[in-house]
Structure 1
Amino acid sequence: MNTSQLMRAVRITGHGGPEVLELAEVAVPAPEAGEVLVRVGAVALNNTDLWTREGAYGRPGDPGAKSGWRGPIGFPRIQGADVAGRVVAVGTGVEHSLVGRRVVVDPAIYDSEGPDANPVGLMGSERDGGYAEYVTAPAERVHDVTGSPLTDDQLASLPTAYGTALGMIERGRLRKGETALVSGASGGVGLALVQLARARGATVLAISSGPKIDAVREAGAHAVIDRAGDIAEQTRAAAPDGIDVALDVVAGELVGEGLPLLREGGRWVIAGALGGYDVTFDVRRLYLHNAQVIGSAMHTPTHFGLLMDLARRADVQPVIAAAFPLEQAARAQEELSRREHVGKIVMHP
């Protein structure tokens, strides 16, 4: 294709509210050596889109600093980490047979080449993302899912939410037959955790509230704990022998309340701070019980490969809450920030 064409893209011009999102006509990016050009079929929204836009990540030593996912970002920046689409062009050194393949892009920018590399950047924050008609990506980060029965919307829902969830499950070493506690279970990552933990053969207790409880149960939770009540008391009643692994995107007060619920050798995995980043807990509950608190940011290349295997077999079925056209990006982000939906919000460029 002729990459001197223009495309529509939504980018942020600085940190701020929805008003910093602008719809612009920009050049279609040309794939560099080792890259492919993907025509975006669907792009999914994540909390990271809101936090990057707001600059809400803070920096080491300065929690209040305006920052992207891993530090200052260059503006204008096209947002959007989660892309499903088709390869339409390749750069030098890339197999031409990829053209026409249906793909999902791994949005992580890694610190090294290996299979267990750590993500240190993110498409849509540290490089331009998928709120656009086209996006470039390194060829080794696109995964061929041509045969998957999942829709583009469902495939686009996978990278950040399900990648983060599978990273938590893998780092927490959740095994078949164990009991998992999932916080924030109706959110994007939370619902993914419920589905993935259930698919792994774990007993899943999920924390949710109000009208979302039925949807969380439908996603595969064996028991739902009402956030409005006493969480510890309800968890003890549902799992009298304790929890093997907590999969937590809320943190805040939940960590201190929840650590005593872990069994001997239990793992508390944290991948978010929806309930607050200042945490206090009784450290005796940690060392006396050989418990572990594990931080988990997204996924490794190995985890993402496992996720794509699940996608090809449709072993998980992402729930789509709403779809918007690209020009309604601000409205889509506001819908996301209200947290009244269950499942993923997507846009169609």
Structure 2
Amino acid sequence: MTELPKTMQAMVLTGHGDLDAYEWHEDWPMPEVGADDVLIRVGACGLNNTDVNTRSGWYSKAVEDATTGGAFAAADDHDPTWGGRPLTFPRIQGADPVGRVVAVGANADQSLLDKRVMIDGWQRDWSDPDNMDKTGYFGSERDGGYAQYVSADRRDVAVVESDLSDAELATFQCSYTTAEGMLVRTNVGADDTVLITGASGGVGGALIQLAKRRGARVIALASESKHADVSLSGPDRILPRAPANLRTALGDEKITVVADIVGGDYWPTLIDILERGGRYVCSGAIAGPMVELDLRTFYLRDLTFSGSTILPQHVFRDVVSYIERGEIKPMLAATYPLKDLREAQAAFIEKRHTGNIVVLP
């Protein structure tokens, strides 16, 4: 076995704040490898909104604005993370690493050595794996993949057999498992017509592909300048991101499911066009978390609302199987060197690219 280094390069988050809260280190200590862990040499790591929102403190209930990627002065130190708890610093973020196993703990399967793996973003207490209150997130409650090496629990990794590059595989974990979780919660099937907001982003594009995989009819909302790129994911129709009269724009379409990652001022319009008995699912609020709801619409139309964050255990493994069978395709928009993470996150926040951005150690 090749001797492992004592230190590594890593982008380290020193506290909540703007992009300058990241510090580049050439000699950061290597991750510890426990008995149930594997050590992975990172080949690529995707960017996602959770990393941005955690860094900025946007998850704090004291913040009522849309996500900007900048620091929020109003953020409360008591609830600045997805789980509503303080974060321990320094922290290496990065929930979407892909790489090869270079060492295994005493309880791990030795056959994992040199295998290419993906990591489940949801870190479970394996003595009580279905308890949501004991679940953490990779790169939040545990150091993640913005580094040359990362350790992960053996039960959270999946070997992936694919001709896709590490960078392409690194687009899947957060975006596609988030999207699949939303569709699982709303039980989307061939009889549904799904309206997807934010369709030019990573989760939006994943929602299109995964809803089509289930046989649903899909209508995407996206800025018109990005329609050509959105079309590559295969929606049945693409509309502007916020039509002035959504009902008119939809024509005779009967929307049974709204899959929303945007929120904001347009939210009541989305609820109004749902068919009786329709389902709404949310896994983001990039345009703003504060919305207005007419409860009469909710109960008189027999609507069902679902929030989607912590996912059932099978979702990650299901997505890996879809990759291996070629049923979904990556949406790799751009790659940046890990050392340029600040620039990569700025591009992600400003939506310079359609799809997913990946950093390479």
TM normalised by structure 2 equals 0.91
Does residue 187 of structure 2 align to residue 185 of structure 1?
no
C-alpha separation in 2, matches of 1:84 and 1:4:
19
Contact 1:105 1:137 in 2 (8 A): yes
Residue matched to 1:327: 339
Unaligned runs of 5+ in 2: 65-73
C-alpha separation in 1, matches of 2:270 and 2:244:
11
Once the two structures are superposed, residues 50-94 of structure 1 have per-residue CA deviations (whole angstroms, 9 ceiling, x without a partner) of 111111111599984241232211111111000111111101111
Task: Identify the match of residue 139 of structure 2 among 104, 109, 124.
Answer: 124
Task: Identify the match of residue 106 of structure 1 among 91, 114, 120.
Answer: 120
Does residue 183 of structure 2 align to residue 169 of structure 1?
yes
Aligned length: 346
C-alpha separation in 2, matches of 1:348 and 1:136:
17
Once the two structures are superposed, residues 292-343 of structure 1 have per-residue CA deviations (whole angstroms, 9 ceiling, x without a partner) of 1110115221111111110111211111111011111111111111112101
Unaligned runs of 5+ in 1: none
Change in CA separation of 1:182 and 1:231 when aligned onto 2, cut-off 3 Å: farther
Residue matched to 2:76: 65
SS in 2 for 1:80: coil
| 1:125 CA drift (Å) | 1.3
Change in CA separation of 1:96 and 1:219 when aligned onto 2, cut-off 3 Å: same
C-alpha separation in 2, matches of 1:277 and 1:112:
32
C-alpha separation in 2, matches of 1:105 and 1:7:
20
C-alpha separation in 1, matches of 2:28 and 2:282:
38
Letter in 1 for 2:312: T
C-alpha separation in 1, matches of 2:217 and 2:318:
21
Letter in 2 for 1:328: D
Does residue 218 of structure 2 align to residue 204 of structure 1?
yes
Contact 1:3 1:29 in 2 (8 A): no
SS in 2 for 1:323: strand
Residue matched to 2:54: 52
C-alpha separation in 1, matches of 2:63 and 2:226:
37
SS in 2 for 1:198: helix
Task: Identify the match of residue 278 of structure 2 among 266, 275, 289.
Answer: 266
Change in CA separation of 1:338 and 1:231 when aligned onto 2, cut-off 3 Å: farther
Once the two structures are superposed, residues 71-124 of structure 1 have per-residue CA deviations (whole angstroms, 9 ceiling, x without a partner) of 211111111000111111101111100101111000212366577554832111
Q: How does 1:1-349 map to 2 (within 5 A)?
A: 1-3=2-4, 5-24=6-25, 25-59=27-61, 64-66=75-77, 67-70=80-83, 71-110=85-124, 118=132, 120-145=135-160, 147-230=161-244, 232-237=246-251, 240-349=252-361
C-alpha separation in 1, matches of 2:192 and 2:254:
10
Change in CA separation of 1:323 and 1:294 when aligned onto 2, cut-off 3 Å: same
Change in CA separation of 1:13 and 1:280 when aligned onto 2, cut-off 3 Å: same
Contact 1:87 1:98 in 2 (8 A): yes
CA RMSD of aligned residues (A): 2.0
Contact 2:60 2:76 in 1 (8 A): yes
